[in-house]
């Protein structure tokens, strides 16, 4: 029997969300289950996909439900779960959604169904965590052969960059992690907040290339760069980094994850030839999400039990206020929508 389900959709060709009641029928497909949604986060990927601006989505002339993932109750098991549900005709910003069982990941039993602080933290941090997990576990080359792994995070002051500091060290065994950012006071704040960060590097138009090279010369040679920004911040970092390397034959892997700092950049041929340098990327398309159950489960366990991300505190808003929340969205405030 179809039920009424409140949901948030973006009716084409507008770019504004609408809170609407829709008919909903629980799934009859054995491979799917119905999730009663508790919390969904608004973040860059959710917005870019909803507006048809992300490379992973083709512009669709029909109305579509927004959202990529969330936390809710699996109605077939009554378990608290993290779930992902994106692709044509799918989404997560609704009271109930039908989800593939392969993309449902239970919380540890110790987490109560009304532990909203933990639920919101997982909703906010899962996507950012996936970025670094996939980079290390599915994209980086020869990770197990790197001795004393040294990681540089470009865009370290953002949500995904910040959690990557902990994931690099606590999950993938990095010995040293440095953070690059455009704003020095935010970098200092980050260092105070995340004590395991080894050093910070300010990169902007006020920092000369010479002083940037000198800064990198004072640090260890980098093995893996996690680049959340692309654009001029990434290019200035890359250029100085390459010129500062003590051992040009040591493998340097630059993994692009986001392009919030602008697109595209042009890399001089000399950069490619003068170093043992690999440029690659990580995101939807370059890895098979359906084959990542281990990664998703690790993220749910580690974030919900506070192994990583315990310093994040999300704010929440009622789903009925989605239009205001969407229009006044500020990535600095980690917001979830409660259903």
Q: How many CA atoms lie within 13 A of 4 on its CB side?
A: 4
List binders of ligand NAP among 181-220 (CB under 6 A). Answer: 181-183, 186
What's the min distance (Å) between Cβ of 76 and ligand NAP?
29
Tokens of 337: 């929508």
Q: Is 14 exposed, middle or buried (0-12, 13-18, 19+ CB in 10 A)?
A: exposed
Instruction: Name the DSSP letter for residue 175.
Output: S
Closer CB to ligand NAP, 24 or 289, in the complex? 289
Stretch that binds ligand NAP, among 85-93, 110-118, 175-183, 211-219 (CB under 6 A): 175-183
Tokens of 104: 């449902």
List binders of ligand NAP among 286-325 (CB under 6 A). Answer: none
- If one asks whether residue 127 binds ligand NAP (CB under 6 A), the answer comes out as yes
CB proximity list for 30: less than 8 A, separation 6 or greater: none
Is residue 120 a contact partner of residue 314, using CB atoms and an 8 Å limit? yes
Segment (H or E) for 234: helix 231-244
Total count of residues recorded for the chain:
339
- Chain centroid offset of residue 260 CA: 12
Selected binder of ligand NAP within 161, 200, 202, 325 (CB under 6 A): 161
Closer CB to ligand NAP, 95 or 325, in the complex? 325
- If one asks whether residue 136 binds ligand NAP (CB under 6 A), the answer comes out as no
Selected binder of ligand NAP within 67, 91, 155, 309 (CB under 6 A): 155
Place of tokens 């576990």: 137
List binders of ligand NAP among 216-235 (CB under 6 A). Answer: 228-229, 231, 233
- The closest residue (CB) to ligand NAP is 158
**Nearest of 134, 96, 163 to residue 303 by alpha carbon:** 163
Selected binder of ligand NAP within 80, 97, 160, 165 (CB under 6 A): 160
- If one asks whether residue 128 binds ligand NAP (CB under 6 A), the answer comes out as yes
Size of the site for ligand NAP (CB under 6 A): 30
Residues that bind ligand NAP in the complex, under the rule CB under 6 A: 43-45, 127-128, 130-131, 134, 155, 157-161, 181-183, 186, 228-229, 231, 233, 257-261, 282-283, 331
């Amino acid at each position: 029997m179809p039920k009424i389900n409140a949901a948030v959709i973006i009716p084409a060709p507008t770019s504004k969300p609408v809170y609407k009641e829709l008919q909903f029928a629980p799934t009859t497909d054995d491979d799917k289950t119905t999730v009663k949604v508790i919390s969904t986060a608004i973040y860059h990927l959710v917005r870019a996909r909803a507006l048809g601006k992300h490379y992973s989505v083709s512009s669709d002339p029909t109305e579509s439900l927004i959202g990529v993932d969330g936390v809710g109750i699996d109605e077939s098991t009554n378990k608290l779960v993290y779930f992902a549900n994106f692709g044509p005709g799918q989404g997560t910003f609704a009271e109930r959604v039908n989800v593939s069982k392969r993309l449902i990941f239970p919380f540890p039993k110790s987490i109560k169904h009304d532990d909203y602080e933990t639920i919101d933290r997982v909703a906010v941090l899962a996507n950012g965590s996936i970025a670094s997990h996939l980079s290390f576990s599915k994209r980086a080359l020869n990770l197990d052969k790197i001795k004393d792994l040294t990681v540089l995070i470009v865009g370290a002051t953002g949500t995904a960059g910040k959690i990557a500091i902990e994931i690099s060290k606590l999950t993938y065994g990095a010995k040293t992690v440095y953070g690059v950012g455009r704003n020095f006071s935010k970098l200092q704040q980050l260092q105070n907040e995340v004590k395991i960060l080894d050093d910070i590097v300010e990169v902007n138009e006020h920092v000369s290339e010479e002083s940037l090279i000198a800064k990198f010369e004072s640090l260890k040679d980098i093995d893996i760069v996690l680049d959340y920004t692309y654009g001029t911040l990434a290019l200035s970092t890359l250029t100085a980094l390459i010129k500062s390397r003590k051992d040009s034959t040591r493998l340097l892997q630059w993994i692009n994850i986001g392009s919030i700092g602008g697109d595209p950049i042009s890399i001089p041929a000399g950069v490619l030839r003068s170093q043992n340098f690999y440029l690659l990327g990580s995101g939807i398309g370059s890895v098979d999400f359906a084959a990542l159950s281990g990664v998703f489960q690790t993220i749910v366990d580690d974030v919900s039990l506070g192994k990583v991300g315990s310093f994040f505190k999300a704010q929440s808003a009622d789903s009925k206020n989605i239009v205001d929340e969407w229009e006044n969205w500020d990535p600095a405030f980690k917001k979830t929508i409660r259903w």
